[in-house]
Structure 1
Amino acid sequence: MTKCEWCSSEKIKPVTDKVYWELPDGTKAIEIEGTPAVHCLDCQMTYQTEWITKEIEDQLFLIDTKKLAKIITFEELMEQPRLLKRNYFDFTS
């Protein structure tokens, strides 16, 4: 990615951010610390790319979310053992 998805500026940098995510079953929301993000130096927007959003969504579908703490790091989330090999409910790929 070379441009901001919000303002098209080329003045962007990779950062990490704290995000809040509702679990797929709707039972609770979790805080995910250290999530890869993009920060635009012009419009000051900080956001996750579509790829990171998809990675989080897929992982939450594939793991036992009942075992998740209310606060978890992105790395810890992605290291959780998967119950399925891939997201069979994703028909986009």
Structure 2
Amino acid sequence: MKCNWCETEKALHSLESAYWELPDGSRAVEITQVPSIKCNNCGMIYIEEKQIAEIEDQFMLINTNNLGMVFSYKTLMDQPRFLKRNYFNFDR
């Protein structure tokens, strides 16, 4: 896989921790096991834009009070939604 930073073919899919501020700004949380890209050449670890959008949408559609300070990506995505989709995202 090609790295978006150094453009070598040494990037791999990985599960990494990420730190996120909730949309309401009330707190920051740690999300574990987030699908990410890790480059063995430059050492960069990043989350692809599509994945970021899915996480941001999910935070907008759930009751974040049900989440602790640390939780897995799967736990986040398994939370019941108030709405079927984020109607405030006009990119679609």
TM-score, normalized by the shorter chain, greater than 0.5: yes
Q: Where in structure 2 are the equivalents of 1:54-73 lying within 5 Å?
A: 54-73=53-72
Question: Could you report, residue by residue, the CA deviation over 1:19-67 in whole angstroms, capped at 9, with x for unpaired residues?
Answer: 1100000000111000010011111101101111111100000000111
CA distance, structure 2, for counterparts of residue 33 and residue 69 of structure 1: 12
Residue type of the alignment partner of 1:18: S
Greater than 3 Å deviation, 4+ residue runs: none
CA distance, structure 1, for counterparts of residue 84 and residue 12 of structure 2: 32
Aligned length in residues: 92
CA distance, structure 2, for counterparts of residue 75 and residue 92 of structure 1: 25
CA RMSD of aligned residues (A): 0.7
Residue type of the alignment partner of 1:71: V
CA distance, structure 2, for counterparts of residue 5 and residue 86 of structure 1: 29
Matched, 1:74 2:73: yes
The aligned residue for residue 39 of structure 2 is: 40
Matched, 1:20 2:19: yes
Residue type of the alignment partner of 2:10: K
Percent identity, please: 47
- The alpha carbon displacement at 1:16 in A equals 0.6
Which residues of structure 2 form unaligned runs of 5+? none
CA distance, structure 2, for counterparts of residue 18 and residue 10 of structure 1: 23
Which residues of structure 1 form unaligned runs of 5+? none
CA distance, structure 2, for counterparts of residue 3 and residue 82 of structure 1: 34
CA distance, structure 1, for counterparts of residue 8 and residue 64 of structure 2: 37
